[in-house]
Amino acid sequence: MTEYLVRRLLTAGLIVLAMMIIVFFGLNVVGDPVYLLVDSAATEDEIEAARRLLGLDQPIVIQFWEFLKNALRGDLGESFVFGRPVLDVIFERLPATMELAFCALMISLFVGIPLGLYAGLKPHSPVSKTIMAGSILGFSLPSFWVGIVFILVFSVTLGWLPATGRGDTVEVFGMEISFLTWDGFKHIILPAVNLALFKVSLIIRLVRAGTVEVTGQDYIKFARAKGVRGLRLIGLHVGKNVMVPVVTVIGIEFGHLIAFAVVTETIFSWPGVGKLIIESILNLDRPIVVAYLMMITFLFVIINLVVDVLYVWLDPRIRLGDQAQ
């Protein structure tokens, strides 16, 4: 177990380093952020002074080496645009994105798994066929269009829910959380549902396929022959075996919800890191872009590690040492 964890952490370090090199040098090729930060009427001397102030007057290799040394000490630099430590800027926005991703994941699980199980247990019923037809809509409709429709229907026409912003928040363990207040809960409904639609469809189809496959296995037939029925059959025999592949997808998709909620955050003006990273890319704010992608890469590694551990709990035949080989 220890050897496996060490190996995974070393792999994560190499992945993060490779990502840092690609992004750091790639943004340098895109353009010079100094021209976006200084006044359009600035002289060449003022531009050079700004470049020296930001440390951009050094060769790119020297800049990367200095960044790497500081990163090992936990200092990812200061934002070119905000003039503040990068981690402070990101952690101000991160709770909003984490909250949105968590709510979207909960909607996906509590809607997708029961509907998928029902569609798999009764694949030929009209309700199951309706569920599967509805799941196709979740795949095919673009999220930006669905978000606009949500705003037009529920905010503009009906006036039930607010269209933009995060609403009132309450502090929990030092983080600002909105869905624990009534106003914040109303604000998060539309973006969370919009973000969850694709995931709901994915989980429905995955659980349905797994349920159809599992219910044909001999141990399910023997369980039914012994009189096991209803929720006991689903919970002890069907559900646990179906969840092994589902856990993988859920883990990866949770990472996607955090990393790629950009469209939803933009449409609903949700103050998360997705909106921040778009602004930073447009402004060539290299420290924020590199730090954000480092965090996302490390997050995916940690999520995959948690998924591997859950495998062992769901299926005792799986051993981490065997997976690592």
What is the distance between the alpha carbons of residues 177 and 296, in angstroms, rounded to a whole number? 21
Count of Cβ atoms closer than 10 Å to residue 71 Cβ = 17
Angle between helices 143-150 and 182-215 (to 10 degrees): 130
Q: What is the pLDDT of residue 215?
A: 72
Kindly compute the dihedral angle of the four CA atoms of residues 177, 181, 187, 188, in this order, to the nearest 10 degrees. Answer: 50
- Over its C-alpha atoms, the chain yields an Rg (Å, rounded) of 24
Q: What is the pLDDT of residue 152?
A: 92
Q: pLDDT per position in the chain (325 positions), as tens?
A: 677 677 777 877 788 788 778 877 777 776 667 766 676 677 777 777 877 777 777 777 888 888 888 888 877 878 887 888 888 888 888 888 888 888 998 998 899 888 888 888 888 888 888 888 888 887 788 888 888 999 999 988 888 888 888 888 888 877 788 888 888 888 899 999 998 888 888 888 888 887 887 776 666 666 667 666 666 666 666 667 777 777 777 877 777 787 778 888 888 888 888 878 888 887 778 788 888 888 887 787 777 777 777 766 666 555 555 544 4
Structure tokens at 94: 């991160």
Residue ranges of domains in the chain: 91-324
Alpha helices (runs of H) in the chain, residue ranges in sequence order? 2-30, 34-37, 44-53, 60-72, 86-121, 126-140, 143-150, 182-215, 218-225, 230-233, 239-259, 262-267, 273-282, 286-314, 320-324
* CATH superfamily membership of 91-324: MetI-like (1.10.3720.10)
